[in-house]
């Protein structure tokens, strides 16, 4: 579908964030019962099968999907995402969904901050100001007086840093590779790395938890399919702001299902982060139009 349909794209992105939030809730449940590395490994097996199925149905099939101008960078991207997912799931277990997502929401600001040194892009003073405001929000969330700060608080921050680097590398390889190629390497290279790590932590699972694991795998595939469709029918700049709804959905899950609490400093800090992130997205769109 080449025709742009912004309204449909927004609806698909909202659905994407909802499904990914459900995935986070399932990950938190399973990782509290089993080793995180094993949970991520099984999830990646299904993801790799999904990616290969998508690639095989495209023009040129698997042979075209594997063709890359930067195969080493592509493999590193896949490995980096595996480590980031493991790190974020650990954050869910130790900090909960609310605080983890509140801190992780700063990743678009990290992307903007690192786009200069990594990609050579120019970042104006307005976006630097927004980045500063966003990181003040992070400090507010992590303040010791708010009762959130602990050594575990750096886990979602580390995950955000890794995901921002993953996003920047994705933009870098996009200069030569198609989105289908990047998606293929994300699933296949990631699955190899996830398996190399996860097999060392294998644990037997109960029948009900295998059911939850199956649902986790399905939500992962569905979420990626919805995201692909969202970017197919609408411009990225139009739908990307709605990705912040994952913070809302995941926090609601944490409050309702996992009895987490919503502290005032988390509300204030997360609001600042989201506002700063939306501003940087808007400024990036304005700058792109000006060019």
DSSP code per residue over 34-70? S-HHHHHHHHHHHHHHHHHHHHHHSTTHHHHHH--S-
Q: What is the pLDDT of residue 244?
A: 86
- Kindly tell me the burial class for residue 47, based on how many C-beta atoms sit within 10 Å of its own C-beta (0-12, 13-18, 19 or more): buried
pLDDT in tens, 69-109: 999 999 999 999 999 999 999 999 998 899 899 888 888 88
Radius of gyration of the chain (CA): 19
Task: State the distance between the two ends of the chain, measured CA to CA, in whole angstroms.
Answer: 27
Q: What is the pLDDT of residue 210?
A: 96
Whether residue 225 is predicted with pLDDT greater than 80 in this model: the reply is yes
Report the sign of the C-alpha dihedral through residues 149, 111, 273, 240, in that order: negative
Q: What is the pLDDT of residue 1?
A: 41
**Percentage above 70 pLDDT, the chain:** 94
Whether residue 147 is predicted with pLDDT greater than 70 in this model: the reply is no
Nearest to 41 by CA among 201, 160, 167: 201
Average pLDDT of the chain is 86
In this structure, what DSSP letter does residue 202 have? Answer: -
pTM given for the model: 0.86
């Amino acid at each position: 579908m080449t025709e742009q349909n912004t309204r449909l794209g927004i609806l698909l992105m909202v659905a994407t964030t909802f499904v990914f939030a459900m995935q986070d809730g399932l990950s938190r449940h399973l990782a509290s019962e089993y080793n995180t590395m094993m949970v991520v490994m099984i999830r990646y097996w299904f993801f790799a099968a999904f990616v290969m199925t998508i690639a095989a149905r495209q023009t040129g099939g698997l042979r075209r999907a594997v063709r890359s101008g930067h195969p080493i960078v592509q493999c590193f991207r896949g490995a980096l995402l595996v480590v980031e997912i493991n790190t974020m799931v650990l954050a869910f277990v130790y900090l909960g969904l609310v605080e983890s997502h509140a801190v992780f929401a700063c990743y678009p600001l990290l992307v903007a901050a690192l786009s200069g040194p990594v990609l050579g892009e120019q970042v104006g003073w307005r976006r630097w100001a927004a980045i500063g405001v966003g990181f003040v929000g992070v400090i507010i969330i992590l303040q010791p007086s708010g009762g959130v700060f602990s050594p575990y608080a750096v886990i979602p921050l580390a995950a955000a840093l890794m995901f921002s680097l993953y996003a920047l590398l994705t933009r870098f390889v996009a200069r030569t590779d198609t989105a289908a190629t990047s998606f293929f390497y994300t699933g296949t290279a990631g699955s190899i790395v996830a398996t190399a790590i996860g097999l060392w932590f294998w644990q037997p699972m109960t029948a009900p938890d295998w059911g939850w694991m199956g649902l986790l795998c399905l939500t992962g595939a569905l979420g990626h399919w919805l995201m692909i469709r969202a970017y197919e029918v609408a411009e990225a700049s139009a739908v990307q702001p709605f990705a912040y709804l994952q913070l809302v959905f995941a926090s609601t899950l944490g409050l309702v299902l996992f009895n987490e609490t919503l502290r005032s400093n988390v509300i204030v800090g997360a609001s600042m982060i989201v506002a700063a992130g939306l501003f940087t997205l808007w400024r990036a769109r304005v700058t792109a139009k000006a060019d």
